[in-house]
């Protein structure tokens, strides 16, 4: 094999490696963006769940603000995926990290909200039963109470 032939083969080999590497980078990029999208969807479902479970509007607004930031990072990652893969990768990672922390926070708030709701319900229904008991007793024993009060009055008069 002559030298120019070897050079041509070498160049083709290098181009093939370069093309393959580029394809791997683009593929990795696409996987990272898909991961960020999935994580964002999961985080949103968790925040929606938290909202349905009665987490306060202020806390949900803060979680929504985090989700919007994660969405912006994801948008930047998608926009830069071909022109600047490393920046795109950094944005995708930031999006995943923020979505993950939002997911964890939403789950904690959901658990707290459920516990609080349970305690509120136990308190409210217990109070309802106590008040019902007092009212029923008052109605049934009204005559006796009246007699008792009158008896006390008579006793006081006698003492006077």
Q: Does 41 bind other proteins (CB under 8 A)?
A: yes
Which residue's CB is nearer to other proteins, number 33 or number 47?
A: 47
Q: What are the residues whose beta carbons fall under 8 Å from the beta carbon of 156, sequence distance 6 or more?
A: none
Q: Does 33 bind other proteins (CB under 8 A)?
A: no
> Given candidates 14, 15, 135, 145, which one binds other proteins under the rule CB under 8 A?
135
Sign of CA dihedral 144, 147, 152, 158: negative
Q: How many CB atoms lie within 10 A of CB 52?
A: 10
Sign of CA dihedral 150, 151, 152, 154: positive
Q: Does 137 bind other proteins (CB under 8 A)?
A: yes
Which residue's CB is nearer to other proteins, number 20 or number 38?
A: 38
Tell me the number of residues near other proteins by CB under 8 A. 31
Q: What are the residues whose beta carbons fall under 8 Å from the beta carbon of 101, sequence distance 6 or more?
A: 66
Contact track, other proteins, 82-111, x by CB under 8 A: ------------------------------
């Amino acid at each position: 094999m002559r030298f120019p032939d070897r050079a041509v083969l070498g160049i083709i080999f290098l181009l093939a490696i370069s093309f393959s590497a580029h394809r791997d980078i683009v593929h990795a990029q696409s996987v990272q963006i898909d991961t960020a999208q999935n994580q964002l969807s999961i985080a949103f479902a968790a925040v929606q769940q938290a909202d349905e479970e009665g987490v306060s509007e202020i806390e949900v607004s803060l979680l929504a603000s985090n989700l919007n930031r994660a969405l912006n990072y994801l948008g930047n990652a998608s926009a830069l995926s071909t022109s600047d893969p490393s920046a795109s990768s950094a944005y995708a990672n930031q999006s995943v990290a923020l979505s993950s922390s939002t997911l964890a926070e939403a789950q904690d708030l959901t658990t707290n909200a459920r516990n609080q709701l349970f305690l509120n319900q136990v308190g409210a229904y217990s109070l309802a039963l106590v008040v019902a008991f007092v009212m029923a007793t008052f109605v049934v024993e009204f005559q006796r109470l009246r007699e008792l009060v009158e008896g006390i009055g008579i006793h006081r008069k006698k003492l006077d």
